[in-house]
Amino acid sequence: MTIADQSGQQVSGPLLPPDGGRDRPLFLVAAILVFLACLSALGARGAWQASQQWTSDLESSLTIQIRPVEGRDADADAQEAARIALTVPGIDKTVAHDRTHAEALLAPWLGQDNLPDDLPLPLIVDVELARNEAPPLDALQSAMDAAGLPASVDDHGRWIDAVRTSARSAQTLALSLLALLTAAAAAVVAFAARASLVARLDVTDALHLCGAEDKFIAQLFQTRFFLLGLKAGAAGALVAALVSMLVSMGESPADMAFFLPNWRLDTIEIGLLIIAPILAGLTAALSARLAVTADLRDRW
Amino acid sequence: MVRFDNVGMRYGPGPEVLRDLSFDLPRGSFQFLTGPSGAGKTSLLRLIYLAARPSRGLVSFFGRDSSTLPRAELPLLRRRIGVVFQEFKLLNHLSVFDNVALPLRVSGRQSSDYAEDVIELLNWVGLGDKITASPATLSGGEKQRVAIARAVVNQPEVLIADEPTGNVDHEMGMRLLRLFVELNKLGTTIVLATHDLQLVRMLDAPVMTLSNGHLHIRPPRSERSVSGGDADSPIPSPLAVREAVESGAAFETDLHSDQSEDTP
């Protein structure tokens, strides 16, 4: 509706009439989709962070396994292996573990105090690598062989691959969900934009016949749906942040923790939650623009 | 200005609703378009205001072939054509001012540039006191005048009016006709579609009559008396129309009289 401002100048009203509550269901659906998308994004980020941490731990260490050999003192061999390992360049620290440590590692499978004393057990020497050094696998194995120790060096490669594969799977799953949710949001908004256009055919026809370009008409719907997407996205992201915080504050089973977003208030996670509503708004705007432009092209 | 050459039009696979239409609308001409319901008047008007394309033949606007016109250029051409719809097509959520200013607004002009012109136009059509009103609160005649004001605010070169007097009483019909004549005097080409033969008789203007999709063009009375018949002919110069209007002889009532008492 036109009103006159203080200087008596006519101030034009919006060309699209108010939605009159028609967009409320769309707001709810968009907010839910953005909420789920945020959880997926946080989940993908959590999986990436976890895999980075685990592979970093595995890559910065080696393990020397001392095989039990009849007639040899395994504890002494472990101590000797730890001492020799320290002489190899690129190795920062070594810790030789005794039979008690080996028994503790087996306890979850064989139980406590169930092992006969004469059961030969391999002993473990943990080797910590100096920062940014490639693992001196061959040099270490050669040093062990040269000292005549029954030792084999393990670079954890098997485990690193397994962790990376798991992390990649979790990330792929989360990103696939994110893509699906984005596509669903775009489809819902496109549908809603078409419905809105049909409900406003009187407006679009009048505009069209008055010489409005398609992009001018599309811009009207685009702006409306951008704001709707932005508001719905903000609501969804806020709820996702709250849920993520609550989940992180509570205890979760170890095997679940990997898949749950990890709320640490770091810049990237906050950035994700801020970007999500903007992306939702842009997705809504683009969907509306494409839907309206296609519809105008079909009808005129 | 607008030229039809052997134009035919059909909707989908159905029969042709317009057949072999050939005519030329010269700049500044005034013509009536009449014919029984279903004769194809609305289809012809749709072709003229670029809402439809012909199934065959050539329709050209300002020297451009409508069938090969890029879509992006259509809005620019439409801005040169004003249309008064029978059902008005006013937007009730906008004020009378905004409805009239719509063609200016969509062409990217700022309200500060056109507000004065729009208000002046609204005063000219007798709606100066309805500037902030919603069209929903106006009478049929007032709506018609808003629709006409919107159609002419952009100073179009062609004005098409579909039954502009269909919803108003005789007196208002006369006033609206006077309005079209005034616009024509200013150089606008007018095509006025009407069933009202009384209205047609008021002006010495050519009459395009559609019947079963065929067009018959009857020259103005002044030319018929010279040529001696009703034969088809190109639409002549609007000189005769203007002379008739300026002399006032064709009008039975004083079209400059005060507004009628319209009621919603």
Collect all residues with Cβ–Cβ distance below 8 Å to B236 and sequence separation of at least 6.
Answer: B29, B206, B219, B220, B223
CB-nearest partner of A216 from B93, B96, B106: B106
Give the residue among A147, A156, A104 at the shortest CA–CA distance from A126: A156
pLDDT reported for residue B210 = 92
**pLDDT bucket at A1, cuts 50 / 70 / 90:** very low
Q: Does residue A103 sit at the B interface (CB-CB below 8 Å)?
A: no
Specify the 3-state DSSP secondary structure of B131. coil
CB contact under 8 A, B106 and A202: no
Q: Using alpha carbons only, what angle is made at residue A20 by residues A17 and A25, rounded to the nearest 5 degrees? A: 125
- Number of structural domains found in chain B: 1
Collect all residues with Cβ–Cβ distance below 8 Å to A138 and sequence separation of at least 6.
Answer: none
CA-only gyration radius of chain B, Å: 18
- Chain A positions touching B106 (Cβ under 8 A) are 207, 210-213, 216
Q: Does residue A265 sit at the B interface (CB-CB below 8 Å)?
A: no
pLDDT reported for residue A10 = 54
CB contact under 8 A, A205 and B72: no
CB-nearest partner of B97 from A10, A18, A214: A10
CB B93 within 8 A of CB A17: yes
Give the CA distances from residue B104 to residues A205, B67, B117, B151, in Å, rounded to whole numbers and listed in that order: 16, 26, 11, 11
- Chain B positions touching A219 (Cβ under 8 A) are none
Of A292 and B100, the one with more pLDDT:
B100
Torsion sign, CA atoms A224, A227, A233, A239 = negative
Q: How far apart are CA A215 and CA A222, in angstroms?
A: 10
Answer whether residue A115 shows pLDDT above 60.
yes
CB contact under 8 A, A15 and B105: yes
Q: How far apart are CA B256 and CA B124, in angstroms?
A: 11
Give the CA distances from residue B26 to residues A189, B149, B184, in Å, rounded to whole numbers and listed in that order: 48, 23, 12
CB-nearest partner of B98 from A2, A209, A216: A2
Q: Does residue A6 sit at the B interface (CB-CB below 8 Å)?
A: no
- Chain B positions touching A207 (Cβ under 8 A) are 102, 106
Q: How many CB pairs under 8 A join A and B?
A: 82
Q: How far apart are CA A288 and CA A230, in angstroms?
A: 14
Most A CBs within 10 Å: which of B66, B81, B85, B102, as the mutation test of the A interface? B102
- Chain B positions touching A209 (Cβ under 8 A) are 49, 51, 78, 83, 89
State pLDDT tens for residues A172-191. 887 888 888 888 877 887 78
B182: in domain: no
pLDDT reported for residue B238 = 47
B118: in domain: yes
CB contact under 8 A, A2 and B131: yes
Q: What interhelical angle do B140-152 and B96-106 show, nearest 10? A: 20
Q: Does residue A300 sit at the B interface (CB-CB below 8 Å)?
A: yes
Residue type, A142: S
Q: How far apart are CA B116 and CA B109, in angstroms?
A: 13
Min Cα–Cα distance to chain A from B74, Å: 8
Min Cα–Cα distance to chain B from A258, Å: 54
Collect all residues with Cβ–Cβ distance below 8 Å to B150 and sequence separation of at least 6.
Answer: A210, B82, B90, B99, B100, B102, B103
- Chain A positions touching B154 (Cβ under 8 A) are 211
State pLDDT tens for residues A264-289. 667 888 888 899 899 888 988 888 89
B238: in domain: no
CB-nearest partner of B112 from A2, A9, A214: A9
CB-nearest partner of A211 from B79, B95, B101: B79
Specify the 3-state DSSP secondary structure of B162. strand
B74: in domain: no
| Residue stretches of chain B with pLDDT short of 50 | 228-238, 240-242, 244-264
Tokens found for residue A17: 């009439």
Q: How far apart are CA B63 and CA B29, in angstroms?
A: 17
State pLDDT tens for residues B85-109. 888 899 999 999 999 999 999 998 8
CB B118 within 8 A of CB B101: yes
Of all residues in chain A, the one with the smallest CA distance to B83 is A209
pLDDT reported for residue B129 = 92
Min Cα–Cα distance to chain B from A206, Å: 6
pLDDT reported for residue A70 = 82
Answer whether residue A133 shows pLDDT above 80.
no
Q: How far apart are CA A234 and CA A228, in angstroms?
A: 10
pLDDT reported for residue B91 = 93
CB-nearest partner of B95 from A13, A15, A208: A13
Residue numbers of the domain that contains B126: 89-155
Answer whether residue A250 shows pLDDT above 80.
no
pLDDT reported for residue B216 = 92
Min Cα–Cα distance to chain B from A31, Å: 29
State pLDDT tens for residues A60-98. 888 999 988 888 888 899 999 999 988 888 888 899 998
Which residues of B make CB contacts under 8 Å with A?
49, 51, 71-72, 74-76, 78-79, 83, 89-91, 93-98, 101-103, 105-107, 111-112, 115, 118-119, 131-132, 134, 150, 154
B148: in domain: yes
CB-nearest partner of A210 from B76, B106, B119: B106
* Residue whose pair of structure tokens reads 């100073």 in the numeric block: B155
CB-nearest partner of A205 from B71, B72, B89: B89
pLDDT (average), residues A232-254: 80
- Chain A positions touching B111 (Cβ under 8 A) are 9-12
CB contact under 8 A, A12 and B101: yes
pLDDT reported for residue A258 = 53
